A = this chain, B = another copy of it.
Amino acid sequence: MSIVVQKFGGTSVADAAKIRKAAGRAIDAVKSGKQVVVVASARGKQTDQLVADALELNPNPPRREMDMLLSTGEQQTVSLMAMALEHMGYPAISFTGTQIEMLTDAAHSRARIQSIGVEKIHKQLDRGRIVIVAGFQGMDEDGNITTLGRGGSDTSAVALAAALKAEACEIYTDVDGIYTTDPRKFPNAVKIDMISYDEMLELASLGAGVMHGRAIEFGKKYNVTIHVRSSMEEKQGTLITHEVPQMEGILVSGATIQNDLAKVGLLGVDNKPGSAAKIFAHLAASQVIVNDIIQVEISEEKANLSFTTEKAHLQDAIKAIEEIKEEVHCQSVFVREDISEVSIVGVGMRSHSGVAETMFKTLADKKVNVDSITTSEIRISVIVDLDQGQEALVALCEAFELDKPEDERNNK
Do the beta carbons of B62 and A86 come within 8 Å of each other?
yes
Is A84 in the interface zone, CB < 8 Å from B? yes
Report the stretch among A2-10, A63-71, A180-188, A404-412 that lies at the interface: A63-71
Of B16, B57, B82, the residue contacting A87 (CB under 8 A) is: B57
Stoichiometry (number of copies): 2
Counting chain B CB atoms within 10 Å of each CB, which of A16, A20, A61, A83 scores highest? A83
Is A274 in the interface zone, CB < 8 Å from B? no
Do the beta carbons of A75 and B72 come within 8 Å of each other?
yes
Q: Which residue of B lies closest to A73 (CB)?
A: B72
Do the beta carbons of B69 and A84 come within 8 Å of each other?
no
Do the beta carbons of B76 and A94 come within 8 Å of each other?
no
Do the beta carbons of B56 and A16 come within 8 Å of each other?
yes
Contacts of A11 in B (CB 8 A): none
Q: Which residue of B lies closest to A86 (CB)?
A: B62
Bound-complex Cα distance A101 to B301 (A): 64
Do the beta carbons of A80 and B54 come within 8 Å of each other?
yes
Bound-complex Cα distance A96 to B97 (A): 13
Q: With A65-B86, A65-B94 in contact, do A20 and B57 touch (Cβ < 8 Å)? A: yes
Interface bin, chain A: 35 or more
A residues 316-374 touching B (CB-CB < 8 Å): none
Do the beta carbons of A72 and B76 come within 8 Å of each other?
yes
Q: Which residue of B lies closest to A50 (CB)?
A: B76
Do the beta carbons of A57 and B16 come within 8 Å of each other?
yes
Counting chain B CB atoms within 10 Å of each CB, which of A19, A82, A93 scores highest? A82
Bound-complex Cα distance A145 to B19 (A): 22
A residues 93-126 touching B (CB-CB < 8 Å): 93-94, 96, 98-99
Q: Within the complex, what minimum Cβ distance (angstroms) separates A40 from chain B?
A: 13
Bound-complex Cα distance A180 to B61 (A): 44
Is A206 in the interface zone, CB < 8 Å from B? no
Contacts of A16 in B (CB 8 A): 53, 56-57
Do the beta carbons of A66 and B79 come within 8 Å of each other?
yes
Is A266 in the interface zone, CB < 8 Å from B? no
Is A273 in the interface zone, CB < 8 Å from B? no
Contacts of A145 in B (CB 8 A): 96
Is A78 in the interface zone, CB < 8 Å from B? yes
Is A58 in the interface zone, CB < 8 Å from B? yes
Bound-complex Cα distance A57 to B159 (A): 29
Of B19, B20, B56, B69, the residue contacting A76 (CB under 8 A) is: B69
Is A143 in the interface zone, CB < 8 Å from B? yes
Contacts of A50 in B (CB 8 A): 76
Contacts of A245 in B (CB 8 A): none
- Per-position contact with B for A9-32: 1 when CB-CB < 8 Å, else 0? 000000010011000000000000
Bound-complex Cα distance A87 to B72 (A): 22
Q: Within the complex, what minimum Cβ distance (angstroms) separates A159 from chain B?
A: 20
Q: With A56-B16, A99-B143 in contact, do A61 and B76 touch (Cβ < 8 Å)? A: no
Q: Within the complex, what minimum Cβ distance (angstroms) separates A305 from chain B?
A: 40
Of B56, B64, B83, B96, the residue contacting A58 (CB under 8 A) is: B83
Q: Which residue of B lies closest to A98 (CB)?
A: B98
Bound-complex Cα distance A53 to B44 (A): 14
Contacts of A93 in B (CB 8 A): 64-65
Do the beta carbons of A82 and B62 come within 8 Å of each other?
yes
Contacts of A80 in B (CB 8 A): 53-54, 57, 65, 69
Bound-complex Cα distance A61 to B145 (A): 26
- Per-position contact with B for A273-306: 1 when CB-CB < 8 Å, else 0? 0000000000000000000000000000000000
Can you identify 23 A-B contacts, CB atoms within 8 angstroms? A16-B56, A53-B80, A54-B83, A57-B80, A57-B83, A57-B84, A57-B87, A58-B83, A59-B87, A60-B87, A61-B83, A61-B87, A62-B82, A65-B80, A65-B82, A65-B86, A66-B79, A66-B83, A68-B82, A69-B80, A69-B83, A72-B75, A99-B144
- Other than the known A58-B87, A66-B83, what 4 A-B pairs have Cβ atoms closer than 8 Å? A16-B57, A53-B76, A58-B84, A62-B82
